[in-house]
Structure 1
Amino acid sequence: MKISTPGRICLFGEHQDYLGLPTIAAAISRRISIEGAPSDDDQVIIDLPDINQKEQFSIHRTLPYAKDRDYFRSTINILRRRGFIFTKGFRCHVHGNIPINSGTSSSSALIVAWANFLTRNADNPAELTPKELGEIANEAEVLEFGEPGGMMDHYSTAIGNIIYLESTPKIYVEGLKPQLGAFVLGDSQQPKDTLGILARCRYGMEAIIQKVSAYDSSFSIFTTPLAQANDYSSLLSSDELGLLKANLEDRDILQEGKKLLLDSQNTQNADFDAQLGQLLYRHFANLRDHKRTSTDKINRMIEASMKAGALGGKINGSGGGGCMFMYAPTQAEAVAEAIRSEGGIAYIIHVDSGTRLEA
C-alpha cells in the first residue's frame, strides 16, 4: 500500500493561528509517500533514505518515547487510545520531494501519511476522513509533546486544496475552490530560526495583548479595528505598536483574501490574479517589517521575483530562513530563474489534493 500527502503553503494568517486567529492554506504539488505492508513479526521498520535514517522498534502494547518528537511511536499511541489495534509490525519506505525543514510542512505531511497508512492497516482497519486524519496528526505531533505549533499544517495537508481554518471558539474548516494558476516555491537553503521567531511573534504578541487588555478590557484581537491601535501608543514601545498593528492588519488581509477567493468561485474577475498577488505582498510586508520573520536573502528572492513578473508572494512558515513562494500564473519559468539567480532552489508548484491512497 502506498499513501501520499502534500506539503503546504500558508496564503494568509501566517503567525496568527497560535493567537486563535484564522488561516488560509493551500496544499501543494510536492508530496511525501509511505509505501509498505504489515509484517509477520512485531517489528516496525521504516526506511527514510532521503535523510539517511531508519526507524525500528517493537510494536508493544504501549510505546515509550525514545527521543524528542518521536512521531512514529506517538501516532501509534494516539490511534490505540482511539481504539485501533496493532499486533503486527510493518515494513515501510518513505520518500518525498517536499523541501525538508523549510516551512512547507514536510513533518506534518509525513505524520498525516503515517496515520492514514496505520488506520488502513490496523487489525481493525478503517478509512478515516481527511479531517479526522488531520486531528490525529496534530495530536501526535503537537499535543502529545507540548509543541508550540498550531493545527493548520495537519488539516491543510490532510484535506488538501485550499482551506480556511478557524480554531476559536471551535474548530471550523471550510474548503475553498478558486481556480489558481502556478506558484513558484523558493527554498533559501537557510535554516529556520523557529524558536527565535516564536519568541518575538508569539510570546511577544501575547505579552502585548495582555498589556493592552489590562488597560482596555474591551480590546479583542478578533474584533478591535486596526485604527484603534493608536489608542495604545502610550502603553507600548514603537516596536510593540508596530507588531500589534501588523497582526491586526494581517487579520483583516486574511478576510479580504477569503472574500476574494470565494467571490472568484462564482463570478468572473479580470483583476483576480493581481488582487491576490497584492494581498500576499501586503502580508509579506508585515512579516518582513514588523514580525521580522524574513531574511535579507529571502527579501532579495522576493524582489527579484516581482521584477520577473510575479504578482506577489511572501515568506512561508515560521521564518528566519526556509522557503518563500510567489504567485506567478503567467511567468512561472521567469520567476523560477529569478529565484535561482539569488541563490535559491526553485520549484514550480500548483494547488494539489490532500492525503490519498495511490493506485
Structure 2
Amino acid sequence: MVITKTPFRMSFFGGGTDIKEFYSEYGGSVLSSTFDKYCYVTSRFLPEFFDYSSEFVYSRIERVTDIDKIEHPLIRNCMKFMNLQNIRLAYDADLPARTGLGTSSSFAVGMLNAFHALKGEMCNKKELADEAIYVERVLCNESGGIQDQIAASYGGFNRIDMSEDGYQVKPIILPKQRKKELNDSLMLFFTGFTHMSSTVQNGVKENFSDKIRRLQTMKSMVDDAQNILIKGSHLSDFGKMLHETWKLKKSLSSIISNSDIDDMYQSAIKAGAEGGKLLGSGGGGFLLFYVDKDKQKYVRDALKNLLYIPFNFENDGTRIIYYDE
C-alpha cells in the first residue's frame, strides 16, 4: 500500500502565460506558492477475490473489469500510461475540486507518484511534473497550462519560467519573517462556486491573438512582484499589484468573473483589502486578498457569508507518507 500527500497551489502573477500557445512563442513566467492544504491518494494492488478487477473511490465509486471502462479520464489515462491493472485507489482532499487551486493536477501528480511506488520506482520532481503534464494535456486532451503540475510536484514559493525549450523552477528566497508577514497578510475565501477550468481556458483562447499584449503585461508583473518581495518594498505594494493583475485577467474573457464574484470582491476592497484576485482560471473557486492585519476583521465581517480558510505556505511538494511493499 502507498499513500501520497500532494499540496494545492495559489498563483499570484503570470497565470495564463503558462499556456503553450503563449509561452512557446513569447515565454511565460508565473509566481506561485503551494500551501498546507492537500490531496491524499491511497493505492494498492487489489486481490483477485472480486467480480471486478479495479476499484476507484473519489466523489463516486467505480468498479471495473477493463481499464477502458473507467469513466474518470484522469484515472483511466494514468492507469494506461503506467500500464497498471488490479488497482484499488482512493482520493481524499482538504478542499473541493474545480476551485482554482490546481486540484486536478495535484491529483495527477499524487496518483503518478503512488503508481510509481507500487511498481517499486522512485521518480524525481521533474519526472513527475512532466508526466502529469503529458497525461493531462496530451492523453486527456484537457485545455490549460503547465504551472499546476510543476507547482504540485516541486512545492514551495517559486518563480516558474517557461519557453519552447522547457521550464525552470526558481525558488523565491526570502527572510523567514518577511515570508511570514506576507503569509499573514493574505486571506483566502471560498466563493461557493465551482467551475471547469478547461471551459474557462477555452474561453481565454478565443480571439487569442487579440490578448497577447495583455498576457505580456501579466508576464512582466512577475518581475515587478519579485522585486517587491526581495528588495524590501512595503508588502502592500504586492497587494496593489494583485488588484492590477485581477483587472487584466478579467479582461481576457467574460466568463472569468460574474456579478456575484465582483460584488464579493468589491465588498472586500471597501472593507480594507489592498487588492486580490480569483485563483485559477476563473469562473468560481477561491478569492485571495492582501489585507493589512489591522483591517482583517473588517474584511471577514464584510465576507461573513463566505467560508474563510486560514493557511500557511508549504515547501515540500508531493511526497510519499506511507509505503508498505
Task: Name the TM tier (shorter chain).
Answer: 0.7 to 0.9
**Distance across 1 between alignment mates of 2:187 and 2:298:** 7
User: What is residue 321 of structure 2 aligned with on the other side?
Assistant: 358
Amino acid in structure 2 at the alignment position of 1:56 = R
2:74 to 66, 71, 88: 71
User: What is residue 155 of structure 2 aligned with on the other side?
Assistant: 160
Equivalent position SS for 1:155: helix
Change (3 A) 1:331 1:205: farther
* RMSD, aligned α-carbons: 2.6
Change (3 A) 1:288 1:56: same
CA contact (8 A) 2:98 2:196 kept: no
1:306 to 263, 269, 274: 269
**Distance across 1 between alignment mates of 2:220 and 2:260:** 28
Amino acid in structure 2 at the alignment position of 1:162 = F
User: What is residue 130 of structure 1 aligned with on the other side?
Assistant: 125
Q: Is 1:185 the counterpart of 2:148 in the alignment? A: no
1:44 to 27, 48, 54: 54
Change (3 A) 1:95 1:200: closer
Amino acid in structure 2 at the alignment position of 1:246 = R
Q: Is 1:319 the counterpart of 2:314 in the alignment? A: no
Change (3 A) 1:15 1:339: farther
- In the TM superposition, what is the alpha-carbon distance from 1:355 to its structure 2 partner? 0.9
Amino acid in structure 2 at the alignment position of 1:15 = G
Q: Gapped runs of 5+ residues in structure 1?
A: 81-85, 209-242
Q: Is 1:286 the counterpart of 2:248 in the alignment? A: yes
- In the TM superposition, what is the alpha-carbon distance from 1:287 to its structure 2 partner? 1.8
Q: Is 1:256 the counterpart of 2:258 in the alignment? A: no
Query: How many residues are paired up?
Result: 302
Instruction: Report Cα offsets for 1:191-247 as digits up to 9, x if no partner.
Output: 4365664344223223x3xxxxxxxxxxxxxxxxxxxxxxxxxxxxxxxxxx45432
CA contact (8 A) 2:12 2:31 kept: yes
Amino acid in structure 2 at the alignment position of 1:281 = H
- In the TM superposition, what is the alpha-carbon distance from 1:284 to its structure 2 partner? 0.8
- In the TM superposition, what is the alpha-carbon distance from 1:348 to its structure 2 partner? 1.6
Instruction: Report Cα offsets for 1:127-169 as digits up to 9, x if no partner.
Output: 2112211111111122112222111111111111122223312
**Distance across 2 between alignment mates of 1:135 and 1:332:** 42
- In the TM superposition, what is the alpha-carbon distance from 1:32 to its structure 2 partner? 0.9
Q: Is 1:93 the counterpart of 2:90 in the alignment? A: yes
Q: Is 1:56 the counterpart of 2:63 in the alignment? A: yes
Change (3 A) 1:185 1:40: same
Equivalent position SS for 2:206: helix
1:119 to 86, 94, 116: 116
2:172 to 167, 173, 176: 176
Amino acid in structure 1 at the alignment position of 2:250 = R
Q: Is 1:109 the counterpart of 2:106 in the alignment? A: yes
Change (3 A) 1:328 1:116: farther
Q: Gapped runs of 5+ residues in structure 2?
A: none
**Distance across 1 between alignment mates of 2:298 and 2:313:** 17
2:303 to 340, 347, 353: 340
User: What is residue 5 of structure 2 aligned with on the other side?
Assistant: 4
User: What is residue 275 of structure 1 aligned with on the other side?
Assistant: 237
Equivalent position SS for 1:64: helix
Amino acid in structure 2 at the alignment position of 1:76 = M
- In the TM superposition, what is the alpha-carbon distance from 1:340 to its structure 2 partner? 3.4
**Distance across 1 between alignment mates of 2:183 and 2:215:** 28
Equivalent position SS for 2:41: strand
CA contact (8 A) 1:316 1:322 kept: yes
**Distance across 2 between alignment mates of 1:46 and 1:331:** 47
Change (3 A) 1:141 1:253: same
**Distance across 1 between alignment mates of 2:61 and 2:298:** 37
TM-score by length of 2: 0.82
Instruction: Report Cα offsets for 1:282-316 as digits up to 9, x if no partner.
Output: 10121234544222222232233334443422111
Change (3 A) 1:127 1:297: same
- In the TM superposition, what is the alpha-carbon distance from 1:71 to its structure 2 partner? 1.1
**Distance across 2 between alignment mates of 1:112 and 1:332:** 37
CA contact (8 A) 2:236 2:292 kept: no
**Distance across 2 between alignment mates of 1:331 and 1:299:** 24
**Distance across 1 between alignment mates of 2:270 and 2:215:** 28
CA contact (8 A) 1:181 1:328 kept: no
Amino acid in structure 2 at the alignment position of 1:35 = T
User: What is residue 28 of structure 1 aligned with on the other side?
Assistant: 35
- In the TM superposition, what is the alpha-carbon distance from 1:78 to its structure 2 partner? 2.0
User: What is residue 17 of structure 1 aligned with on the other side?
Assistant: 18
**Distance across 1 between alignment mates of 2:205 and 2:46:** 44
